[in-house]
DNA sequence: TAAGCTAAGTGATTGAAATCACGAGAAATG
DNA sequence: CATTTCTCGTGATTTCAATCACTTAGCTTA
């Protein structure tokens, strides 16, 4: 049986770095669930019933307008906590969370979550840190979409962000598993523009791609594009 | 001397609804400061030295690119807490906070803040709620900029948000103290487009303005514009 | 292996908003 | 109160990305 007490994400994220007793409390009061690709943890507008701690896999966090326009806020992975802001503010979920790569997640029912926060001070501090991460993701998305003048600039910025992330994990290249459509949703543009922008970057040797592997050849040029 | 213990915002916001002992601790360990219009509490990139709890007045929370492009995240007022996410994540400030209307603010030095969070469980839960508010503001901004297709739509959406806010305070109209330039910074567009959009709305009797007072005449039309 | 489906690439067209440029009015400032 | 500095309003021009409309390529799955 999977337990929080021997989780290797310990220390990295808000709810994975709790004290032993809080973790034991989590182990006895929550269950681990498996979710296949395509399943939805919760939808925008849903009344929250639980928060989720991702143990493995990747999920897409998005919001959309009635007209079908979609904004992808971020791609979350192991250690990230989903649905906490709605749980804390007693409001409905403001985002939809959909599984991209098969996931294992710890499910924390609302009532249990509130008890956890009430009884374990490090849990509420952990919650604050989780919220800080959520905030940062939303802020970065707002910044990404607002600041660079052109769609091409936003795509450039996104690639730079990915490259920085890849570097942190000491990877030589970026693994781009998103479709152009999804990239468009993260950069407030259209699929065609993403395709064209990437084509142009390839032609001008600013990036190179082999399948899902994307390598940044001239970061300076991307910087310049994204700043304009 | 101004004290948190007899603050009338009690209950409304994260740090204004602490227990008596936590408030007493705040009163003895932090000071109230006055800031005139135009002063800056902190700047993007600054290393944080304190968090601020607004007692009165209004401030502008923004971020900008080197090229001078500016994004206004939100206008904060009484009860809001500024600079908490940077304090909690041990990172630099990600935003600039500038005073719009003369402010009184409680200044919480970092060291004191950490002690407060460590020793008073309701303070860390309060911090989590503050972060949830920050998150919501950033999320709403991202949504505002990403989802409506056109600049005109974004301006429409912003006016609707203001109108909802005004209604909550049972005001008959929206008091718009921002310049067109600032509205442009909130909607990722240009000053001219804001001017033209508002002119058009006035001409088509969708809104009406008398000085800073803005009245929404046809909310349905605004809804439609913002959704397109 | 063929059919069917989704993703990616690309051209043509067009329209909406950025940009540039200027003037009038309001408000701050000395 | 005179002057300088913001703010707002508008026209003319241009550009660049959205949209429409196909084709091509790569994967499923029947």
pLDDT digits (tens, 9 = 90+) for A101-141: 899 999 999 999 999 998 888 888 889 989 998 999 999 99
In angstroms, the CA of B135 and the C1' of D20 are apart by 38
d(CA B227, CA B138): 20
Residue B25 confidence class, pLDDT cut points 50, 70, 90 = confident
From its phi and psi, is residue A12 left (phi > 0), alpha (psi between -120 and 50) or beta?
alpha
More confident residue, A79 or A183: A183
Residue at token pair 């994975």: A16
For the cut 90, the answer to whether the pLDDT of residue B196 exceeds it is: yes
More confident residue, A149 or B200: B200
d(CA B93, CA B108): 15
- CA-nearest residue to B141 within chain A is A142
Would you state the pLDDT for residue B140?
92
* Chain B interface with A: residues with Cβ < 8 Å: 63-67, 69, 71, 73, 85, 88-89, 94-95, 117-118, 121, 124-125, 127-129, 131-132, 134-136, 138-139, 141-143, 145-149, 188, 227-228
Asked if B71 lies within 8 A of A147 by C-beta distance, the reply is yes
d(CA B6, CA A162): 48
Would you state the pLDDT for residue A1?
58
For the cut 90, the answer to whether the pLDDT of residue B7 exceeds it is: no
A149 CA: nearest nucleotide by C1': C18
Count of other CB atoms within 10 angstroms of residue A42: 21
Chain B positions in Cβ-Cβ contact with residue A131 (cut-off 8 Å): 128, 131-132, 134-135
Asked if A146 lies within 8 A of B71 by C-beta distance, the reply is yes
Pick out residues 147-166 of chain A having their CB under 7 A from any atom of nucleic acid strand D.
150-152
* Chain A interface with B: residues with Cβ < 8 Å: 63-67, 69, 71, 73, 85, 88-89, 94-95, 117-118, 121, 124-125, 127-129, 131-136, 138-139, 141-143, 145-149, 188, 227-228
The reply to whether B181 Cβ lies less than 7 angstroms from strand D is yes
For the cut 80, the answer to whether the pLDDT of residue A199 exceeds it is: yes
Asked if A117 lies within 8 A of B129 by C-beta distance, the reply is no
For the cut 90, the answer to whether the pLDDT of residue B4 exceeds it is: no
Report the SS3 class of residue B69.
coil
Would you state the pLDDT for residue B23?
86
The reply to whether B198 Cβ lies less than 7 angstroms from strand D is yes
Pick A138's closest partner by Cβ from B66, B117, B135. B135
A69 CA: nearest nucleotide by C1': D18
Beta strands B174-175 and B213-216: pairing type? antiparallel
For the cut 80, the answer to whether the pLDDT of residue B2 exceeds it is: no
Give the up-direction half-sphere exposure of residue A179: CA atoms within 13 A in the CB hemisphere. 7
For the cut 70, the answer to whether the pLDDT of residue A9 exceeds it is: no
Q: Which of A117, A146, A151, A187 to mutate to test the interface with B (most CBs of B within 10 A)?
A: A146
Q: Which is nearest to A49 in space by CA: A118, A137, A112?
A: A112
d(CA B2, CA B33): 10
Residues near B28 by beta carbon (within 8 Å), at least 6 away in sequence: none
A181 CA: nearest nucleotide by C1': C7
In the predicted model, what is the mean pLDDT of chain A? 90
B152 CA: nearest nucleotide by C1': C17
Would you state the pLDDT for residue B83?
95
pTM listed for this prediction? 0.87
For the cut 70, the answer to whether the pLDDT of residue A46 exceeds it is: yes
Average pLDDT over residues B1-10: 67
Would you state the pLDDT for residue A228?
54
Work out the end-to-end distance of chain B between its first and last CA atoms, rounded to an integer number of angstroms. 52
Residue B72 confidence class, pLDDT cut points 50, 70, 90 = very high
Percent of chain A with pLDDT over 90: 62
Chain B positions in Cβ-Cβ contact with residue A44 (cut-off 8 Å): none
* Rg, chain B, Cα only: 19
Work out the end-to-end distance of chain A between its first and last CA atoms, rounded to an integer number of angstroms. 52
A191 CA: nearest nucleotide by C1': C8
d(CA A167, CA A18): 28
Tens-place pLDDT, residues A13-31: 778 778 888 888 888 889 9
Would you state the pLDDT for residue A60?
94
Pick A132's closest partner by Cβ from B67, B85, B227. B85
For the cut 60, the answer to whether the pLDDT of residue B228 exceeds it is: no
* Strand D bases contacted by the protein (CB, 7 Å): 6-12, 16-21
User: Which residues bind near strand C, taking a CB cut-off of 7 Å?
Assistant: A 149, 179-181, 191-192, 195-196, 198-199; B 150-153, 188-190, 192-193
Tens-place pLDDT, residues B98-143: 999 899 999 999 999 999 998 888 888 889 989 998 999 999 999 9
What proportions of chain A, in percent to the nearest 5, are helix, strand and coil? 45, 25, 30
């Amino acid at each position: 049986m999977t337990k929080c007490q021997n989780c290797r994400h310990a220390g990295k994220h808000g709810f994975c770095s709790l004290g032993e007793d809080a973790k034991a409390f989590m182990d006895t009061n929550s269950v681990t669930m498996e979710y296949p690709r395509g399943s939805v943890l919760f939808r925008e507008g849903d009344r929250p019933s639980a928060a989720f701690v991702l143990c493995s896999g990747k999920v897409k966090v998005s919001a959309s307008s009635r007209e079908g326009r979609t904004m992808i806020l971020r791609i979350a992975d192991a250690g990230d906590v989903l649905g906490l802001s709605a749980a804390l503010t007693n409001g409905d979920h403001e985002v939809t969370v959909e599984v991209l790569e098969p996931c294992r997640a710890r499910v924390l029912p609302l009532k249990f979550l509130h008890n956890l926060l009430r009884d374990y001070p490090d849990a509420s501090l952990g919650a604050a840190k989780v919220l800080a991460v959520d905030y940062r993701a939303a802020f970065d998305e707002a910044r990404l979409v607002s600041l660079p003048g052109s769609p091409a600039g936003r795509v450039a910025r996104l690639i730079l962000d990915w490259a920085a992330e890849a570097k942190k994990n000491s990877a030589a290249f970026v693994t781009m598993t998103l479709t152009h459509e999804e990239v468009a949703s993260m950069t407030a543009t259209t699929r065609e523009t993403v395709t064209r922008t990437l084509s142009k970057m390839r032609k001008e040797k600013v990036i190179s791609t082999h399948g899902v592997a994307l390598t940044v050849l001239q970061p300076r040029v991307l910087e310049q594009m994204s700043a304009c």
